[in-house]
Amino acid sequence: MQPPQTRTPLRKALQIVYLRFSIVSRMLFLGRAMEILTKIAGTMIVGGGSGVNNPAYISSPLEALNQRAYEDGSQLLWDIANVNSTAQVDAASDACLVFLNAWASEGYDRSGVHDDYSDALVNNIADQCNNTIVVIHNAGVRLVDVFIDHPNVTALIFAHLPGQDSGRAVVSLLYGESNPSGKLPYSVPKNESEFGALLSPTPPEGQYWLFPQDDFAEGVYIDYRAFDANNITPRYEFGFGLSYTTFDYSSLEFNKVDGPSTDKYPVGEVIEGGQGDLWDVLFQVSASVFNSGNVDGAEVAQLYVGIPGGPVRQLRGFSKVDVEPGKSVNLNFDLTRRDLSIWDVVAQKWQLQKGDYKVYVGGSSRNLPLEGSLTI
């Protein structure tokens, strides 16, 4: 799916299908309370556990869409009780919205990163409706490859845990009143197997069953760093996100800051976060982002660095900027000694290596049109 050049608000008849999600029986009380609220409101505003809060109100997608339908004279049909993925679609519908939930809470692991029931529901609706829009309220990675290539699935929103104004927020996006600008804080692979051993940990047994041990054998190679190292192309990469406009990058420049030492190890006094000179700025990076579309938009520009001997690239900075159509905004990033260092397990210090460091700037971990190098 490519970002449209203009907003395309929904009109006329909408069909809504809510997914009733299942939940494990062992859960903190507040988590259970949120399960009940979710079933009533048709959305998931927060995950379970001690971080749960009790909002003063919940704006559900159904309520917000009903209000919008009243205001613009649309007809709204819905099914919030379907439990077997066989919901029927009114043939006159201009668009069909399918809302899915992917619950998570402290105290237990998720059983998987997709579920057959939800996937079957989407495919069933898409078989009947040529403009099927999927909205997922998820607490983490949720796979979509079972349905995303269906020719009638026209849009997908990872809405995550949006809080008490869930409904108002998603309606604002669907009708083009707000322009999406979020970026994924994780990669979405095509299959569970692409996670490797991370998705199948060995649980502790016997008297130690409450005390899991992790030796972190994967090192720093998790998520996009592991996918890059193993040449795996995810469905949606880390940092990915679409907009109702488009952005172009240009004018990558570097400036070496005079003064800070580039010796092998830091020598500063230990403060909170490590030795003080770890936070010395060694280089300043600048670039420009241009809004080449027709509407206002916000872009999250991302800076990645390839450290010698390490992952292909690692996120070392990001900046969200608002850009008007036909206008450019300058981007500025600082690279500190810590950003460019590796941990020396023998010396037990952060080590700054001599050599060339590749630098990338763009819109995601795999959409990096600007590339250059620094030398230390």
d(CA 91, CA 176) in angstroms, rounded, equals: 24
55: nearest Cα among 37, 28, 35: 37
What pLDDT band is residue 258 in, cutting at 50, 70 and 90? very high
Residue 2 lies in a domain: no
Give the model's pLDDT for residue 13.
56
Residue 193 lies in a domain: no
Nearest-5° Cα angle at 249, 181 to 309: 95
Residue 298 lies in a domain: yes
Query: Is the per-residue pLDDT at 6 higher than 70?
Result: no
For the chain, helix, strand, coil in percent to 5 are 20, 30, 50
Asked if residue 162 and residue 20 are part of one domain, the reply reads: yes
Asked if residue 29 and residue 115 are part of one domain, the reply reads: yes
Give the model's pLDDT for residue 86.
75
Residue 8 lies in a domain: no
**Structural domain range at position 366:** 246-375
Assess contact for 289 and 323: CB atoms under 8 A. Answer: yes
| Of the residues 174, 192, 222, the one at which a domain ends | 174
DSSP 192-223: GGGGGGGGS-----GGGTTS-----TTTT--T
What pLDDT band is residue 47 in, cutting at 50, 70 and 90? confident
Give the model's pLDDT for residue 69.
93
331: nearest Cα among 267, 254, 235: 254
Of 36-40, 235-239, 344-348, least confident by mean pLDDT is: 36-40
Give the model's pLDDT for residue 42.
67
Residue 186 lies in a domain: no
Query: Is the per-residue pLDDT at 221 higher than 70?
Result: yes
**Mean pLDDT over the full length of the chain:** 87
Cα torsion at 114, 15, 40, 156 (round to 10°)?
A: 30
348: nearest Cα among 293, 274, 294, 277: 274
Contacts of 198 (CB under 8 A, 6+ apart): 218, 222, 226
The pLDDT tens digits of the residues spanning 316-327 come to 999 999 999 999
Asked if residue 355 and residue 265 are part of one domain, the reply reads: yes
In DSSP terms, 297 is beta-bridged to 323
Give the model's pLDDT for residue 35.
47
State CA 292 to chain mean position distance: 24
Question: For the chain, how many structural domains are there in total?
Answer: 2
The pLDDT tens digits of the residues spanning 232-241 come to 999 999 999 9
Asked if residue 159 and residue 18 are part of one domain, the reply reads: yes
Asked if residue 292 and residue 169 are part of one domain, the reply reads: no
The distance in angstroms from the start CA to the end CA of the chain is 41
What pLDDT band is residue 15 in, cutting at 50, 70 and 90? low
Instruction: Report the CATH number that the domain containing residue 295 is assigned in CATH.
Output: 2.60.40.10
Mean pLDDT of 234-258: 98
Give the model's pLDDT for residue 17.
56
Asked if residue 154 and residue 24 are part of one domain, the reply reads: yes
What pLDDT band is residue 1 in, cutting at 50, 70 and 90? very low
d(CA 199, CA 347) in angstroms, rounded, equals: 33
Given strand 314-323, what is the order of strands in its sheet?
314-323, 297-306, 356-362, 370-375
Percent of the chain with pLDDT over 90: 70
| 301 CB-contact burial (10 Å; exposed 0-12 / middle 13-18 / buried 19+) | buried
What pLDDT band is residue 2 in, cutting at 50, 70 and 90? very low
In DSSP terms, 135 is beta-bridged to 99, 157
Q: How many residues can be counted in the chain?
A: 376
Mean pLDDT of 294-313: 97
| Of the residues 174, 196, 213, the one at which a domain ends | 174
The number of beta carbons lying within 10 Å of the beta carbon of residue 151 is 8
Asked if residue 144 and residue 42 are part of one domain, the reply reads: yes
Percent of the chain with pLDDT over 70: 88
The pLDDT tens digits of the residues spanning 94-108 come to 999 999 999 888 877
Q: In this structure, what token pair is assigned to residue 373?
A: 């190098």
Give the model's pLDDT for residue 301.
98
Residue 317 lies in a domain: yes
Assess contact for 257 and 335: CB atoms under 8 A. Answer: no
Query: Is the per-residue pLDDT at 296 higher than 60?
Result: yes
Q: Angle 61-72/166-174 helices, nearest 10 degrees?
A: 50
Instruction: Report the CATH number that the domain containing residue 121 is assigned in CATH.
Output: 3.40.50.1700
The pLDDT tens digits of the residues spanning 151-207 come to 999 999 999 999 999 999 999 999 999 999 999 999 999 999 999 887 777 777 888
d(CA 41, CA 167) in angstroms, rounded, equals: 9
Asked if residue 251 and residue 167 are part of one domain, the reply reads: no
State CA 6 to chain mean position distance: 23
The pLDDT tens digits of the residues spanning 114-134 come to 999 899 999 999 999 999 999
Residue 338 lies in a domain: yes
What pLDDT band is residue 84 in, cutting at 50, 70 and 90? low
Contacts of 98 (CB under 8 A, 6+ apart): 17, 19, 121, 122, 125, 132, 133, 134, 135
d(CA 125, CA 311) in angstroms, rounded, equals: 41
